[in-house]
Amino acid sequence: MSASLVWFRNDLRLADNPALIAGLGSGRPVVPLYIFDEETPGIRPMGAASRWWLHHSLQSLDASLRSLGSRLILRRGPAEKVIAEVAAEYDASALYWNRAYDEGSRERDARVKLSFDRRGLVAESLKGNLLYEPWEVKTATGGSFKVFTAFWRACRELPSPGPGLPAPKSLPAPKNWFASDRVEDWALLPTAPDWAGGMRATWTPGEAGAQRRLSTFLDQALANYRQARDLPALPATSRLSPYLAFGEISPRQIWRAATTRGMSAATEKFLSEVGWREFSYNLLFHHGDLSRKNFRADFDSFPWIDEDGTLEAWRRGRTGYPIVDAGLRELWTTGWMHNRVRMIVASFLTKDLLIDWRAGERWFWDTLVDADPANNAMGWQWVAGCGADAAPYFRIFNPVLQGEKFDPRGDYVRRWVPELGGLPAEVIHCPWEAKTPLPPDIYPQRIVDHAQARDRALVAFRSLKKSA
């Protein structure tokens, strides 16, 4: 009997997985397939932290599928070639997948669908990774939105997302299982050196880990979300971003779980953050490669400074500004950084150092477990001033004032920059003002004076405005 292939991508879950349910509903044996594709042009290879997460997420998904009498087939190579091979092995007459929205994936998926259509086979893509498709949210004139507030207002006027689809209780298996790669042979984990100890201590990849994380957030942090979400020392944010990036939980599941507890100002604020993810994907769909191309074309002539060693100091968390260094060290250790701190470190790179935002975006892509083609690029462009609905050019975060406002006692800095632990709160964000400043071999001097850097950045932005 012919089979149905279910092509898993960034949707590594059983519950609320439309492609999996469509495969089950076909009445044929179901072959779950994951393809590690780093060869198709236009598909951006994963960063190192994401590869670590993927290893564990695939192990988790395979275990879940085996509990249903199935298994996950792993193959490596160009997706179009691999799908053709697996379809031939299982005499597949149908292929189902949940949509991706970056340009390279859409072009590849269209080619896959065309090859199935030509042979009279079923190839169906479904909505499984967004609340609303990019073409469902339109301006009054039928265009796409470039401002978040208007976009989210339009979303809220659409029908509320329905309940998620239940996970299947069993999956019909093919008569024979053909060869599968072993995830261990893909060498996704770091070995020499093994730098993933902090990530192992911080995260539990997989669908079950996502559900536990959601429940913990709703039970312990949602009520104070509006007031505490900007304080990096507190466990006040959902930390669901990597689970969303790998599709171990769907935005519809999050929406349903949050709203069934009743609507409040905190819930509305949390859902609006889910809305920013929707907005980012809307921009990605309508405007192409946001990781390389300025959304605002006038920024193509921005006078970025050639990197002169300060980029490496920034990456290592050795800038001399404690809140910046704390964030970058948190990132290196855990694969994650608090959102408020992401904005601070991005502003420091692009405005204090005048280094092209794409250098920061590439570093985040490699080191974030939640590296995402829409959120990551949109966030960097927003801070740099070249994105949609971007911060005005004169908004340049003062890293000292930001630290004093959002980490007033210095708890976050003390955790990630322990060499400053003995400083009183009054100077922990400006250690150069301490009565006895630390020697440079203990903590570095500032690589740039913020006041002078701010003036330099304003000159650069004003020159851009004049030339526009």
Q: Give the length of the chain.
A: 468
**DSSP state at residue 401:** H
Percentages of the chain per state (helix, strand, coil), in multiples of 5: 50, 5, 45
Query: Is 357 marked active-site?
Result: yes
**Residues 309, 235: one domain?**
no
**Residues 310, 209: one domain?**
no
Of the candidate ranges 275-284, 330-339, 454-463, the one whose mean pLDDT is the lowest: 454-463
Angle between helix axes 399-406 and 339-347 (nearest 10 degrees) is 170
- 203, 255, 357, 365: the catalytic one is 357
Residues 255 and 245: their CA atoms lie apart, in Å, by 16
Query: Is 304 marked active-site?
Result: yes
Mean pLDDT, rounded, for 207-228: 98
Cα torsion for 458, 461, 463, 468, to the nearest 10°?
A: -160
More confident residue, 393 or 31: 31
**Residues 282, 406: one domain?**
no
Greatest Cα-to-Cα distance within the chain, rounded to the nearest angstrom:
79
- 152, 255, 276, 336: the catalytic one is 276
List residues bridging with 250 in a β-sheet. none
Query: Is 276 marked active-site?
Result: yes
Q: pLDDT tens for residues 282-340? A: 999 999 989 999 999 999 999 999 877 999 999 999 999 999 999 999 999 999 999 99
Residue 174 has which token pair?
Answer: 């093919």
Q: Is the pLDDT of residue 466 over 70?
A: no
**Residues 91, 239: one domain?**
no
Tell me if 11 sits within 8 A of 249, measured CB to CB: no
- 380, 398, 404, 416: the catalytic one is 380
Residues 132 and 157: their CA atoms lie apart, in Å, by 12
pTM: 0.97
Tell me which of 287, 312, 337 is where a domain ends: 287
* Structural domains counted in the chain: 3
Query: Is 7 marked active-site?
Result: no
Range of the domain at 9: 4-129
H or E element at residue 182: none
- 39, 124, 133, 273: the catalytic one is 273
What CATH number corresponds to the domain at position 237?
1.25.40.80
221 assigned to some structural domain: yes
**Residues 140, 272: one domain?**
yes
DSSP-based three-state secondary structure for 35: strand
Tell me which of 111, 129, 147 is where a domain ends: 129
Q: What percent of the chain has pLDDT over 70?
A: 99
- Average of per-residue pLDDT values in the chain: 96
